[in-house]
Chain A
Amino acid sequence: MKSNKTLQNLEEVTIRFAGDSGDGMQLTGTQFTNTTAILGNDLSTLPDYPAEIRAPQGTTSGVSGFQIHFGSTEIHTPGDSCDVLVAMNAAALKVNIGSLVKGGSIIANSDGFSDKNLRLAGYASNPLKDGSLDEYQLFEVDITKLTTIALQEMNLPNKLVDRSKNFFSLGMMYWMYNRPTEPTIKWLEEKFANKPEIRDANIRVLKAGWNYSETTEIFKVRYEVSAAKLEPGTYRNITGNQATAWGMMAAAQKAGIDLFLGSYPITPASEILHELSLHKDFGVKTFQAEDEIAGITSAIGASFAGALGTTTTSGPGLALKTEALGLAVMVELPLIVVNVQRGGPSTGLPTKTEQADLLQAIYGRNGEAPIPVIAASTPSDCFYAVYESARIALKYMTPVICLTDGYLGNGSEPWLIPNFESLPAIPTNIPTNPVGFFPYSRNNYTLSRPWAIPGTPGLEHRIGGLEKKELIGTVNYEPLNHERMIHLRAEKINRIAYEIPDAYIEGDPEGNILVVGWGSTYGAIKTAVQQLRIKGKSISHLHLRYLNPLQKNLGNLLSRFKTIIIPELNLGQLIKILQSAYPIRAIGINKVQGLPFRAEEIEKKIEELF
């Protein structure tokens, strides 16, 4: 569709779609994201939805939001605040108005501001009328009514008409930011091929939204956000959970073994189970277990039988898997445990993000049970983080915990698609010769034991959770043997540090301030540090992927800076680990609100300190 109105150029924009949890805001946001990605913008997204599937309609607890930050420059976060807020009802406005920049635009569905809506949202008077939004640009559009008119001649049930109104707002946003409607039309045609009524209704409403914006005088200008200068290559948009699933598949194929997932559904990790369940053509075996414990123990059983055993979960689920993690350490089998962290403790904030499981991942077991821990830093990085977890698990015959979080799992970004051939090799040590075979013999360098798989003649052996005799693996309770085995298992994990890449600093290699982060805070820290460097501060950024073991050069890098600042979405967990590993004192910046850091928060906090 072509427009006749003037275009203004923008470097970057953040839009937040907000409505009732039944209003389809996640779908609207995802469609806008995919179309924006195809246009070549760099972007980052953040879905924000309630834990209840359908909280009471019109209430603030039922508000579902989706934020997208896109631009012609590099984008590292979903945006600290939004420039445009699409509010489908009064509750959506109430919940999200605080995130809108002063002077930002509000597209409000006026039908969602009835007396009932206002009461449910807790407004004493109608904010669209009482002047309280004067410092914003307010656009009132009766989206519900316009949708109904657009669908009048189709004679559809009211429910279906009501469900189409999100496409009206999508159409308006496509117009306003000069995006084509075709990708969404194509998607609707495929998705609802067998439901022509829904397909046609949504397409019609999408176009109506676009046409309304073009024809009426309500909007004066449109905006153009040019394509970003991204590295050449073929891109796709990907969420963290999807990247995690694909990373596992790629790793198993690289290693030439089958992939087995034992998993119990849990927010926000379930999408990994869903994704892997789709790919039977890859021979992927997914097992929806009866509980978290069966999820991990079936995966351990599958690993014993020669598959890449994996399990996916979130915080409370990791707690349930604790005993089995110790078993995996003891039997020295490869295993990947993905923890998509959420707000804790206990059930906590199931749909919100947090980084408070780091200590659980590193230490949370009985006995001396070291496990490598790796963290992903962006949605697409989940692919590489889990791939690296698999490589280490198979090379060192060990469970590996891969930490992502709700923000990464649900968030998305454009991803330069890698070439499978050029991904690192994943070697395994699978013996077939019974001569000289011992189940607990060890490779001289890695201290890894052989993976003797049932079905191999002559290698029959028994493993288990009891302490075992060095080399031969039979049950053994001798004091010195136990101590020796504890040291061997610890040293095996320590030796991983000798082969993983060095930690590296973004910015100057030495100076006043080093900001050290891990996991999903990457984008916010990077943006904050870039801003502070522009302002002339001597500040650099170091982001950790390997949490256990720590990289060999890390101590040296830390010693080159006067001050170390560690922002974390917890009360200070990495800081404890680094302060106990190195002779440093660091300053924590901590936030536990179920939300990611805003770059500005980190920037301001550092400016306050120095």
Chain B
Amino acid sequence: MKTPIQDIPMFDKNASQPRYTPKDFQSDQEVRWCPGCGDYSILAQAQRIMPEIGIPKHQIVFVSGIGCSSRFPYYMNTYGFHGIHGRAAAIASGVKLAQPSLSVWVVTGDGDGMSIGGNHLIHLLRRNIDINVLLFNNQIYGLTKGQYSPTSEKGKITKSTPFGSIDYPFNPISLALGASATFAARTLDRDPKHLYTILKRAVEHKGTSFIEIYQNCSVFNDGTFFQFTEKETKDDSIVLLEHGKPLIFGKEKDKGIILDGFTPKVVTLSDGKFSVNDLLVHNENDTTLSFILSDMTYNTNLPRPIGVFLSIDRPTYEDEMDEQIRIAQKKRGIGNIQQLLHSGETWTIQ
């Protein structure tokens, strides 16, 4: 079957590419997030990276659900689809499967992606459709004005939990890994450089890329991640995951993580008992390790891991779908409706 888009000249990586600047990716819509919202930083980095990924903007689609983060597509001068609550992953799956040559992005939040849309998210991850998922985690419901979310910490006082939340929170990275994600990373709105690097990695990864972005909600949950983002505390509170490198952290780079059996533990490098050589070395291709690292997340005795937890290769759903079509067409030729209608038992009346 001929697709109308086959008439449209395809982007040729070798041909002279349109030279974009971040400005080319800004739409004419006024950005309407609250002042100080972490979303601004994420938008800026997304617009910054787009000119560099080698994909013309008419081949890019941003899809979202409902929530503050889901306004994102309106501000990107690409194709965009602001869907309904929780369904961005499913809409994006349809977009990508119908036209695999598109670069498809999902922008979602902790409520949209893990509460109402949790089902679609896990199924997208296990199918490994080549879509980049940006999950803005602010641990609160912002658009509905301040109820606890599935990532809010236990005991959280909000409008709907005046006596403290009794819900145990999701750890988004563990959820993604549990759903057989092939790429899972965590980054921070207030670290543009790291955010930029992770977005770039997501673009490079073929398969579903899941990125949890800690994002500050300046109105309903201000400062929730400041421990991990602010200068005074961050060095002692986060550990950067870098492939092939030991897990070192601390202001003085004097602390590290070792594995005691399967249990990560903090050690000091200054008292002569442990050296860098004893430390756990990160391997992004190790699925088992990724679970161990992700499990550090809510352990207050351990620094919060930031970076790429896992990056492995697995065939994408759309490639396998196209392959089945290719084989069927090679074997049987391209389908002919008239022949189909006459297939099987027929009889003729004169």
Contact = CB atoms under 8 A, between A and B. Distances in A.
Given A282-B335, A283-B325, A305-B99, 13 more contacts: A34-B345, A249-B337, A256-B4, A257-B3, A280-B325, A290-B120, A294-B87, A301-B91, A301-B96, A420-B338, A454-B95, A460-B77, A463-B81
Contact of A285 (B73, B79, B321): B321
Listed residue (A233, A259, A300) with the most chain B CB atoms within 10 angstroms of its CB: A300
A458 B58 CA distance: 7
22 contacts: A34-B345, A38-B347, A246-B340, A246-B341, A249-B340, A256-B4, A279-B340, A280-B327, A290-B120, A294-B123, A297-B84, A297-B90, A299-B94, A300-B94, A303-B94, A305-B102, A309-B98, A462-B76, A462-B80, A462-B81, A462-B82, A464-B74
A299 B57 CA distance: 23
Nearest to A295: B90
A252 B333 CA distance: 18
B197 interface: no
Contacts of B338: 419-421
B208 interface: no
Interface stretch (A140-148, A234-242, A398-406): A234-242
Contacts of B119: 290-291, 294
B275 interface: no
A287 B79 contact: no
B103 to A, nearest CB: 10
Contact of A453 (B5, B82, B96, B123): B5
A232 interface: yes
B329 A280 contact: yes
A456 B8 CA distance: 6
A256 B102 CA distance: 20
Contacts of A253: 1, 337
B347 A37 contact: yes
Interface in A268-320: 279-283, 285, 287, 289-291, 293-294, 297-307, 309
Contact of A432 (B8, B27, B61, B78): B8
A590 B330 CA distance: 52
Interface string A574-595: 0000000000000000000000
B119 to A, nearest CB: 6
Listed residue (B78, B94, B333) with the most chain A CB atoms within 10 angstroms of its CB: B94
Nearest to B62: A462
The 5 closest A-B pairs by CB, nearest first: A301-B94, A464-B82, A282-B335, A298-B94, A280-B328
Interface of B: 1-5, 7-9, 27-29, 56-59, 61, 63, 66, 73-74, 76-84, 87, 90-99, 101-102, 119-120, 123, 321, 324-325, 327-329, 331-335, 337-338, 340-342, 344-350
B84 A279 contact: no
Given A306-B99, A454-B102, A236 B344 contact: yes
Contacts of B61: 304-305, 454
Contacts of A230: 349
Listed residue (A298, A419, A428) with the most chain B CB atoms within 10 angstroms of its CB: A298
Contacts of B347: 37-40, 234-236
A250 interface: yes
